[in-house]
Structure 1
Amino acid sequence: MSLTAADIMTKSVLTAKPDDTVAAVARLLSEHDISAVPVCDSRGAVIGMVSEGDLLTPVGAESTARRSRWLTILAEGTDLASDFVHYIGIGNRRIGDLMVKPVITATADTPVPQLADMLVRHHIKRLPIVQDGRLVGIVSRANLIRAFARNPDAVVEPP
C-alpha cells in the first residue's frame, strides 16, 4: 500500500500572515532555517506562499533602480517625506504583496506518487496539505526523499 501525504507530511508548519512585513518573514525563515512558508488568512486557509527567492526579488538591482525612478517621478524635484520613504522601504513591505498565488495544495489522503508528480509538474518545492480549507501540514521534496530512503516500495504506485 502506498504512503499518503498524512504519512510523511510535516505537521507543525510555521506560517506568515499577509500583513507581516518582509523583514519579519525574513527573520522567521532565518531563525528556523527554512526556505519558505505558507501565507494563511485568519481562518487558517492558505492564500499564498513566500520563499527566499520571493524575498530577494525586490532587493535586486533592477527593482531598486525602478523604485528609484518612481520616487523621482513622485517627488517632482522636491524631497519626499522621510516617513513616506521609510514606509515604502523593502523591510516594511507586506508579504501579501510578494506572495505567490494561487497556491497548489494537496489533501492528507493524496498518495505519495501523486505528490511527487505535482511537485515536478508545477516546478515547486513544497505542497501545503489542506483539510476542510485549512492548513494541516506541508510536504516538501525532502519529505518525499526521506520516505523513499526508508521504504522505496511504499512510495511507488502499485501496477
Structure 2
Amino acid sequence: MQAQDIMNNVVFKVKETDTVRLVVEKFLEHHISGVPVINNNDEIVAYISDGDIMRHIGKHDDIFIDSFFFINVVHGDDDKFEERVKKILDLNVLKVAKKTVVKVEWNEDIENIAATLGKRQIKKLPVERDGKLIGIISRGDVIRHVFHTFI
C-alpha cells in the first residue's frame, strides 16, 4: 500500500503570499489544524500549523546577555497581547510557517509513512508527485486504513 492509496486528494492549502489571518480563517472554517504553503507552481514551500501560530501569540520573554555575560530576562507586558495578536494576523504566512517541510512522495509505502508520522511527532504529511502537492495523509488516515484492512 502506498501514499497515493490512502491520501486525501482534497487538500486545504494557502499560498506563500497569504496572511496568517487567512490561515486562521481556513482552520476555523474547515476544522483543521495545519496546511501546506504553496507557490504559484503548486510546490510546497512551507507548512503552518496551529502550534506555529501559538508559539507566536504566546507570552515571550526577551532574553539577552549584558556586557558582563549575565543573562537578563525582560518580561513582556500582558496588556500588549491584543496588539501582538493583531500584528501576527497581518503577517505574511512565511514569517510564521516552518520552511523545512516533512513530506512524502506519492509512491511511499504506508509502513514508512506511519514511521515518519510517529517518529517526527507530526499530524499530517503533504504528498507530492514531481515536486507538486497532490494530497495529504494524516495519522487518522493511516489508522483508518490499518483498522479496515487488518481488523
Give the superposition deviation at 1:39. Answer: 0.5
Aligned length: 135
Matched, 1:19 2:52: no
More helix by share: 1
Match of 2:70 in 1: none
1:30-86 deviation per Cα after TM superposition (whole angstroms, max 9, x unaligned) = 100011000001100001110111111221111798787xxxxxxxxxxxxxxxx89
Match of 2:36 in 1: 38
Normalized against structure 1, the TM-score is what?
Answer: 0.77
Give the superposed CA RMSD: 2.4
Counting aligned pairs with the same residue, the percent is: 29
In 2, Cα distance between equivalents of 1:145 and 1:18:
31
- Which residues in structure 2 correspond to 1:73-92 (within 5 Å)? 89-92=87-90
More strand by share: 2
List alignment gaps of at least 5 residues for structure 2.
63-73, 78-82
**Aligned match for 2:107, one of 85, 109, 116:** 109
Report the CA distance shift for 1:66/1:152 in structure 2 as closer, same or farther (over 3 A).
Answer: farther
Normalized against structure 2, the TM-score is what?
Answer: 0.81
List alignment gaps of at least 5 residues for structure 1.
69-84, 154-159
Report the CA distance shift for 1:128/1:93 in structure 2 as closer, same or farther (over 3 A).
Answer: same
Instruction: State the 4+ residue runs in structure 1 displaced beyond 6 angstroms.
Output: 63-68
